[in-house]
Amino acid sequence: MNVLMVLTSHDKLGNTGKKTGFWLEEFAAPYYVFKDAGATITLASPAGGQPPLDPSSDLPDFQTAATDRFKADEAANVALANTVKLDTVSADEFDAVFYPGGHGPLWDLVDNTNSISLIEKMYFAGKPVGVVCHASAALVNTKAADGSPLVKSKNVTGFTNSEEDAVQLTDVVPLLVEDALQEKGAIYQKGPDWASFVLEDENLISGQNPASSEAAAKAILAQLR
């Protein structure tokens, strides 16, 4: 069972002068769901090497058993520091792909042609494609075989407008995940802010927010089994 996890390489939070990147819980929780199931995990990012960690996700309030486990896991930290470049991976080599969020993907995974091609190939091969939180934006420019948006008429979730508003970044981000998916014709659904909420539409699996990351990974695992 080979699972690819695709992380952001983008570390600038718009014009705020602050840093962003991937959200720690959204990486760590799925990583251990896959690892504990015996999966071989490959980590990739657009630039390769060490992806940037959103410093906010490292604050005490956002630590979980999975993030604590990751921090004590030397092998996992080495793997994260050495992600392969996204343009070197082939969809044929993997059984599933998962995209952790954080605000970084809004800048470097929406229009990334390698990412778009990867998602399309995995999806059309019937392999689970998982996204969580802001990483749902990686679906925005993917296409179906007829050229229409891949998410059109599909049940999809991702970080909500109200959650973005709550973190006071509505005017900073290049797009709002909820709006962008709806504009592409997705049947966007959401649960309560900050609560776990996961949707499955065939082999497309999406989670709303950080709390949804473990459940989204478990849904992928269930499909693989």
Average pLDDT rounded to a whole number, residues 199-220 = 98
Confidence of residue 197 (pLDDT cuts 50, 70, 90): very high
Average pLDDT rounded to a whole number, residues 103-118 = 98
Strand runs labelled E in 46-178: 84-85, 96-99, 129-132, 155-156
User: What pLDDT is recorded for position 136?
Assistant: 98
Confidence of residue 143 (pLDDT cuts 50, 70, 90): very high
Q: What domains, with CATH codes, occur in the chain?
A: 2-224 (3.40.50.880)
Residue 140 main-chain phi, psi, to 5 deg: -55, -40
Task: Pull the structure tokens for residue 82.
Answer: 């050495």
The share of the chain scoring above pLDDT 90, in percent, equals: 100
Q: How many CB atoms lie within 10 A of CB 49?
A: 12
Average pLDDT rounded to a whole number, residues 176-198 = 98
User: What pLDDT is recorded for position 185?
Assistant: 98
Confidence of residue 156 (pLDDT cuts 50, 70, 90): very high
- DSSP letter at 2 equals E
User: What pLDDT is recorded for position 92?
Assistant: 98
**Strands lying side by side in the sheet with 40-45:** 84-85, 40-45, 2-6, 96-99, 129-132, 204-207, 198-201
User: What pLDDT is recorded for position 27?
Assistant: 98
- The CA distance from 204 to 78, in Å, is 30
Average pLDDT rounded to a whole number, residues 97-116 = 98
Average pLDDT rounded to a whole number, residues 24-45 = 98
User: What pLDDT is recorded for position 89?
Assistant: 97
| Cα–Cα separations (whole angstroms), residue 161 to 32, 89, 170 | 29, 33, 8
Strand runs labelled E in 19-140: 40-45, 84-85, 96-99, 129-132
Is 0.75 surpassed by the pTM of this model? Answer: yes
Q: In the block, which residue shows the tokens 């994260």?
A: 80
Mean pLDDT taken over the chain: 98
Task: Pull the structure tokens for residue 103.
Answer: 């605000």
Confidence of residue 41 (pLDDT cuts 50, 70, 90): very high
Average pLDDT rounded to a whole number, residues 81-107 = 98
Task: Pull the structure tokens for residue 126.
Answer: 């019937």
